[in-house]
Structure 1
């Protein structure tokens, strides 16, 4: 089994196949219709079990394949989030390193130098915000990293003061 690459549908199918149970037996065990189980198993259907349903499905299948799959997915999401955080740290470091020559090499700063410093500070601030957003997503296991990453890609998180204005 390659749980890391499986979709939720593939994991449900694998757990069902391993159980040897019929759709009717599983549905009866869960107290739901056979049609729901059919949709969980249908390849091109976006319908999938809620997180709260995973333990019940494991009980009905009499195996823990879905829990193992979920654990692998959580670990994979943590790894991706960590990689994205490191990327943002590298971008922050690059912006900081760009500031150093402007401050060390020049006796007096002209308007162009100040503008370049402001640009570098703005880049650092954006990367810090993106990093912070990824970090805040780390507290919520159920938030897919893709959603956090897309939000971190270009949106600015508002403070409560900014929202009131």
Structure 2
């Protein structure tokens, strides 16, 4: 099945089996291996990418469902020598240990900061009228779909806070 995707600002026309997940299309058909296959059940967040600016688990969606969509992977957020502010904060604050979950964490956090900027409330947001505060509880709730087996959570929260220009 022909599927047209714009991935990291580059257009791709792929001829895929309609059962191919977006994650497998990225990793196996396009060689973009930053997004990881952790659980393959949408429970760990290692495969998180952004589709049209919103974060999704790439292992749970079929590539053909995103025909014409804009997909951003970790490779599109930044690269060595040209890191995004969030990637730089992850390095400075040691927001990773083994690094396996880091691409998904950074993609999720990038979209999360945009959600906060747009005023989207979460389950723990106290005030539904204004922009949510970037509290530890708020960040933890919004990042709860991204697991880190090394337990670098305090450093991830601090990296997100620093990248957003806030401190504890």
Instruction: Specify if TM > 0.5.
Output: no
Computing the radius of gyration from Cα coordinates, the structure with the larger value is 1
More strand by share: 2
What TM-score do the two structures reach when normalised by structure 2?
Answer: 0.21
With the length of structure 1 as denominator, give the TM-score of the two structures.
0.21
- More relative contact order, 1 or 2 (CA 8 Å, 6+ apart): 2
More helix by share: 1
